[in-house]
Structure 1
Amino acid sequence: MSLTYKNIIVGIDGSKEAEAAFKKAVEIAKRNDATLHLVNIIDSRIYSALEAYNFSEEEKRAEEFATSLLEDYKKAETAGIENVNIIVQYGSPKSVITQDIAKKVEADLIICGATGLNAVERFLVGSVTTGIIRSADCDVLVVRP
């Protein structure tokens, strides 16, 4: 069992919780000389429900926004981290992060912000953070702002 992390995923969505998770991820990545993978998942379930209306332009804008957001966070490189990757994908965030990205980058730590959803929202849509905790094959750190 290794006590260091080499591939760290941090979910970035523009929220204050994600900002706190990012700051913690930078600290941990620096201490471990790890690669930091900045991830934004565009929830494709929204677009698939509206596909009949040809929302490809909205999808394109969402992808441009996500890429721009992650580029802003890539400032981690200037904080002493040599390897920072940006990953933008479509899908259900809680499954894409754990089933797809974590396996692809051989993640040993996923860092995410605590969600601010109330009980009703959690019941209806489920918490991305809870989904990650339940399905991840590696350590998960939940950061509160």
Structure 2
Amino acid sequence: MYKKILVAVDGSVQSEQALDKAIQLAKLHGASLAIAHVVDIRNFYTQDYTPQSLYDETEKKAKQMLQEYKAKADDEGVKDVETLLSSGNPRNQLTGKLLAENDVDLLVTGSTGRNAFERMLIGSVAEACVRHASCDVVTVRSALT
């Protein structure tokens, strides 16, 4: 049985499907659920400059998305739901810091996300999670892929 499930979300349809699966699994196992989003700060850097207003707006939207997803999990009967917002490289944050700091024993991701071009060049976040996570990983296949 799983005790703590972390689901990675990015606002895509695929990550919403991963959230649905994570909710089902949390209810089945009586597990707590952490809904995580990583603001990919690599998108903000230009010659050692980060436009703070752009980052702040992105963070605000991410917090709103996480609260909507938390409300959905609460409404569907998950007993213990939290949100996690981090920044950095999603591959590193999800397979390292977020798993370690939150005692996660199951990571749920969508098979694809918002950045198809980057996935072609260096691999998907889901692939990195399967290869490097210290816990079990469920990758949710989308009907769209």
TM-score, normalization by structure 1? 0.89
Any gaps of 5 or more consecutive residues in structure 1? none
Which residue number in structure 1 is paired with residue 134 of structure 2? Answer: 137
Shift of 1:106: 0.7
From 38, 50, 64, the counterpart of 2:60? 64
Shift of 1:47: 1.8
Shift of 1:122: 3.0
2:77 aligned with 1:80: yes
CA distance 1:122–1:34, shift in 2 (3 Å): same
The whole-number CA distance in structure 2 between the counterparts of 1:39 and 1:72 is 12
Equivalent residue letter for 1:13: D
SS of the aligned residue for 2:79 comes to: coil
Matched pairs, number: 140
Shift of 1:50: 5.3
Equivalent residues in 2 for 1:1-145 (5 A)?
4-49=1-46, 51-52=48-49, 54-74=50-70, 75-115=72-112, 121-145=118-142
CA distance 1:64–1:51, shift in 2 (3 Å): farther
The whole-number CA distance in structure 2 between the counterparts of 1:56 and 1:84 is 30
The whole-number CA distance in structure 1 between the counterparts of 2:69 and 2:54 is 23
Shift of 1:143: 0.3
Shift of 1:94: 1.0
